[in-house]
Amino acid sequence: MTVTAPSNFESDVSLQGHYAGAATRTAAFALDQTVATVVYALATALVAWLIDLVVGPDYTIEPHQGVAGVIFVLWLFVYYAYPWSVSGKTLGMAVLGIRVVQRDGSPTTARNGVIRTLVLPITFLTLGIGFLPILFGRERRALHDTAGGTAVVYDWNARAARLRFLARQQPREREPHR
């Protein structure tokens, strides 16, 4: 298996604005899910602590699983729909350097963000079939991309990254050999 070396920023520069691949998108989604879940867990723990602080330790609160699930789904909807509508990228996508755009490359709208978010669970419900176009489609658009009229592209400034890499090489090259 051949993986591009970290120093190979030359080819990355030419990929800016191109359709993002499956690996990067998967990593971004995994990071987003982790962040969303951790934030939700912290928030529920904080709420529970506050309730316990108010009513005292004599009362035990057993949250309804259904209500908690609905709140979690609503939280996930907000977590994905809002950034996709406003900036086109979630926290995980920003870290991985990808962005959601409309099919022609223009910035996304609220309609794009909301539809994409609503259809995302359906893509999972197809047992992964909805993700296959990322691998085999001409525009690498999953089912929720097609429904929302969106595509995912590389958005990170690889040219700046290459210059940073070259700059980091300079002190290393100037170090005297021991």
The site for other proteins (CB under 8 A) is made up of 1-9, 11-12, 15, 17-24, 27, 95-97, 101-106, 135-136, 138-139, 151, 153-154, 156, 158, 161, 163-171, 173
Helix H, strand E, coil C: the string for the chain is CCCCCCCCCHHHHHCCCCECCHHHHHHHHHHHHHHHHHHHHHHHHHHHHHHHHHHCCCCCCCCCHHHHHHHHHHHHHHHHHHHHHHCCCCHHHHHHCEEEEECCCCCCCHHHHHHHHHHHHHHHHCCCHHHHHHHHCCCCCCHHHHHHCEEEEECCCHHHHHHHHHHHHHHHHHCCCC
CB of residue 37 vs other proteins: minimum separation in angstroms? 20
CB of residue 32 vs other proteins: minimum separation in angstroms? 14
Cβ closest to other proteins, residue 79 vs residue 141? 141
CB of residue 160 vs other proteins: minimum separation in angstroms? 8
CB of residue 143 vs other proteins: minimum separation in angstroms? 17
CB of residue 104 vs other proteins: minimum separation in angstroms? 5
Handedness of CA 48, 54, 58, 61 (dihedral sign): negative
Cβ closest to other proteins, residue 29 vs residue 75? 29
CB of residue 107 vs other proteins: minimum separation in angstroms? 10
Cβ closest to other proteins, residue 75 vs residue 149? 149
**Amino acid found at 97:** G
CB-CB contact of 102 with 146 (8 Å): no
